[in-house]
Chain A
Amino acid sequence: MMERGTDAAPDFDNSAHFVQAVRERIATVVVGQDIVVERLLIALFTGGHILLQGVPGIAKTLLASTLAKAMELDFARVQFTIDLLPADILGSEILDQRTNEFRTNRGPIFTNLLLADEINRAAPKVQGALLEAMQERKVTIAGEALTLPAPFLVIATQNPVEQAGTFELPEAQLDRFMLLHRLDYPTPDEEREILKRNAALGLQRQGAGALVQTEFDVIDETPAGSAEDIIQAMQAVLSVHVSDTFVEHVVELVNRTRNHPAIELGGSPRAGISLIKASRARALIHGRDFVTPEDLFALAEDAILHRLRLRYEALADGLTTQLVLQELLADMGASPSTTGRALPEAGGEEDARDAMDTPQNGAILASDAV
């Protein structure tokens, strides 16, 4: 059992300030969307990649850009299009005309924070190249394996799959994202504020002419937090306590997804690992040094939903994974446990524990491969 209190407290205080500063900074540009900001911070603090999904025009790009610019981190943005090539993201080997030598040209992926905008507009092969690099945190160019910088975080956005001209990412690819957050439309109050703020934007001179400003032009680029702040927050997340009881809850939930009659593909162990990681970061953001069922219920959808696949018959009946998961969550506790009374010994859940049960003094960071 780890000792907390004196030495861990400063981490928590500092992180709380940092979180507050980032939230305030984002709020100067983006109206509302607090939950999305929370999820982005969770991704940042755990090193897990995040996918934002929503219809066009609800500030997905704006949010990701604002967050990225508020950090003292390297930032790159790639707009995914149908004609994008893997080399456009990863980099390539080019012949230097003057020296007549081959030179490695590193692509935009060599950054700390990569905004992969509208990822489902690119051909599946290009998506695959990015997702693989995300997983491996390595890129191979001309036979040479190049390690990506640390931290390395991908914030991807995508339009809902019904939108024309998109390539749906299969579950196996989606699994590489720790979280998939679905954005909603703003509330009427927020919408009013968005419109007012937009109307208050001015002109921006450019050369001999001028342009009407957008929200993107008023993003403050001075960092709201240092790289050290992020590292401290990452450290603080790792000292957030996860009780055996919480692990039980996660095992129970994941198990229920596997046994549900409407679900063909249930949650993987990685789903459970993601849920616990994200819950720890959420606890930190909410000023707690331990996770509670609130974190589990709040994050279940983002951490698990994109890894589930419904049976064909369930789809034909008009069910969605969202409905099924909501039903599962509501049923937790209301119907008897499915995992039995004994602590489960199954490999997957052990992984979850192993990943986090590393002794603090061992100074080893739990594998980030989520």
Chain B
Amino acid sequence: MLLAHLIVLALATGPAQDAAAEPQEVLSLSVGVPHFTKELVLPGSLLEATPTTIETPLILRVDSASPHGTAFRYDLEFYGLDPGDYDLTDFMRRVNGSDTSDLPAVPVRVASILLPGQIKPNPVRNGPLPTMGGYRTTLWALAVAWLLGALLLWRGRPGRAASGDQLESQRAPTLGERLLPQVEAARAGTLTGAERAELELMLIAFWRQRLELGELPAARALEQLKAHAEAGPLLRQLELWLHSPNAAPEVDLGELLAPYGSQPGGSQPGGSQPGGSQPGGIRSGGIQPGGIRSGGIQSASSPGEAPGP
């Protein structure tokens, strides 16, 4: 095959000038199939491929060119796009812009493998349409699902009023809900030490929320609470009850906790609670504020020595 081409090309190049009238064997190619031609000698100065346009029926590329006496030797690559007979030299021009009419013809036949008259492939037959809609429908479905999910998340956020009962049971109890049983337990005198501590913190937090002091630093907020007409006296009472070593008998726990619970506070003075052998509601409720006792100063054996063991 290659050998045959070489023969064709040799015929085309060698005695081309004088044998122009002789019938040439023409290279035949299929549309779109590339062909490589090596060592083709063409007379005259250096040639290059003519730039192609959208209409060019044959694409030619000069892979390499090297001097060959007064001529040049070319490696070419080309393929035809439209069926027909062509001359390769029509697709070349001189680099120096001079005339190419002195070039011998290098004929190429580009043939189509399609049936005669059929220049287009068979028409596409209509297939059955997918039932679940197309790409557009899928995108819409996804968008709706995403929006629904976002909506659900938003609705389920803590602090949002949850409409369903099932949501109600899942969320953490609010401060008010935690406070109520503790207050009841405090009235009944059944709080442990740790629970009493938590109760105090909850009451402080309760008043902070109620008076909307959440923005202030905790220390400043407590200062303001203590100065508040309603909260102040109550919190001070609470402090006496929980922290003072000797003021407890004067604290009326029922009155103190009245604003927080549903029970009427004043009607349940501590002293009337079961087990009340001492005056004062707190102790009779079984609550004995304990605490840290004091240390003392050990006099140093000589002045100028550090205290302590």
Contact of A293 among B194, B222, B298, B306 (CB under 8 A): B222
Which of B220-256 touch A at CB < 8 Å? 221-223, 226, 239, 242-246
For A12, the chain B residues whose CB sits under 8 A away are none
Q: Do the beta carbons of B204 and A293 come within 8 Å of each other?
A: yes
The answer for the CA separation of A252 and B204 in the assembled complex, in Å, is 15
Q: Is B85 an interface residue (CB 8 A)?
A: no
Indicate whether A336 sits within 8 Å of B292 (C-beta atoms), given known contacts A297-B222, A329-B217. Answer: no
Chain A CB within 10 Å — which of B226, B243, B308 has the most? Answer: B243
The answer for the CA separation of A292 and B243 in the assembled complex, in Å, is 6
Choose, from B36-44, B101-109, B195-203, B260-268, the stretch at the interface. Answer: B195-203
Q: Do the beta carbons of A244 and B298 come within 8 Å of each other?
A: no
* Interface mask (A246-264 → B, CB under 8 Å = 1, otherwise 0): 1111001000000000000
Contact of B295 among A137, A297, A365 (CB under 8 A): A365
Choose, from A143-151, A203-211, A306-314, the stretch at the interface. Answer: A143-151
Q: Do the beta carbons of A297 and B218 come within 8 Å of each other?
A: yes
Q: Do the beta carbons of B308 and A368 come within 8 Å of each other?
A: yes
Indicate whether A245 sits within 8 Å of B308 (C-beta atoms), given known contacts A326-B217, A341-B194. Answer: no
The answer for the CA separation of A318 and B198 in the assembled complex, in Å, is 31
Which of A203-251 touch B at CB < 8 Å? 231, 234-235, 238-249
* Interface mask (B293-309 → A, CB under 8 Å = 1, otherwise 0): 11111111000111111
Q: Is B130 an interface residue (CB 8 A)?
A: no
Q: Do the beta carbons of A245 and B293 come within 8 Å of each other?
A: no
Chain A CB within 10 Å — which of B201, B293, B294, B304 has the most? Answer: B294
Contact of B197 among A239, A248, A353, A358 (CB under 8 A): A248
The answer for the CA separation of A203 and B221 in the assembled complex, in Å, is 46
Indicate whether A239 sits within 8 Å of B290 (C-beta atoms), given known contacts A289-B245, A333-B202. Answer: no
For B294, the chain A residues whose CB sits under 8 A away are 2, 238-241, 356, 360
Q: Is B214 an interface residue (CB 8 A)?
A: yes
For B201, the chain A residues whose CB sits under 8 A away are 249, 252, 293, 332-333, 337
Q: Do the beta carbons of B308 and A4 come within 8 Å of each other?
A: no
Q: Do the beta carbons of B298 and A333 come within 8 Å of each other?
A: no
Q: Do the beta carbons of A294 and B222 come within 8 Å of each other?
A: yes
Please name the residue on chain B nearest to A359 by beta carbon.
B293
The answer for the CA separation of A337 and B202 in the assembled complex, in Å, is 10
Q: Is A188 an interface residue (CB 8 A)?
A: no
Please name the residue on chain B nearest to A138 by beta carbon.
B306
Q: Do the beta carbons of B193 and A357 come within 8 Å of each other?
A: no
Contact of B194 among A47, A334, A339, A357 (CB under 8 A): A339
Contact of B193 among A245, A363, A366, A367 (CB under 8 A): A245
Q: Do the beta carbons of A2 and B293 come within 8 Å of each other?
A: yes
Q: Do the beta carbons of A245 and B243 come within 8 Å of each other?
A: yes
Please name the residue on chain B nearest to A339 by beta carbon.
B194
Contact of A245 among B200, B297, B306 (CB under 8 A): B200
The answer for the CA separation of A298 and B217 in the assembled complex, in Å, is 10
The answer for the CA separation of A270 and B206 in the assembled complex, in Å, is 30
For A148, the chain B residues whose CB sits under 8 A away are 306
For A353, the chain B residues whose CB sits under 8 A away are 292
Which of B275-297 touch A at CB < 8 Å? 289-297
The answer for the CA separation of A245 and B195 in the assembled complex, in Å, is 9
The answer for the CA separation of A363 and B204 in the assembled complex, in Å, is 37
For A246, the chain B residues whose CB sits under 8 A away are 197, 243, 291
The answer for the CA separation of A220 and B241 in the assembled complex, in Å, is 44
The answer for the CA separation of A360 and B226 in the assembled complex, in Å, is 32
The answer for the CA separation of A353 and B196 in the assembled complex, in Å, is 18
The answer for the CA separation of A275 and B131 in the assembled complex, in Å, is 73
Q: Is B16 an interface residue (CB 8 A)?
A: no
Q: Is A199 an interface residue (CB 8 A)?
A: no
Give chain A nearest CB distance to B299 CB in angstroms: 8
Contact of B297 among A238, A243, A252, A298 (CB under 8 A): A238
Q: Do the beta carbons of B293 and A357 come within 8 Å of each other?
A: yes
Please name the residue on chain A nearest to B209 by beta carbon.
A334
The answer for the CA separation of A137 and B300 in the assembled complex, in Å, is 14
The answer for the CA separation of A293 and B226 in the assembled complex, in Å, is 11
Q: Do the beta carbons of B295 and A293 come within 8 Å of each other?
A: no
For B298, the chain A residues whose CB sits under 8 A away are 363-365
Give chain A nearest CB distance to B279 CB in angstroms: 17
Contact sample, A vs B, 10 pairs, CB 8 Å cutoff: A4-B245, A152-B306, A238-B294, A241-B244, A241-B292, A243-B242, A243-B292, A361-B296, A365-B296, A366-B308
Give me the interface of B with A, judged by CB distance under 8 Å. 172, 175, 178, 192-198, 200-206, 208-209, 214, 217-219, 221-223, 226, 239, 242-246, 289-300, 304-309
The 7 lowest CB-CB distance pairs between A and B, nearest first, are: A333-B201, A248-B197, A333-B205, A329-B218, A242-B292, A239-B294, A334-B205
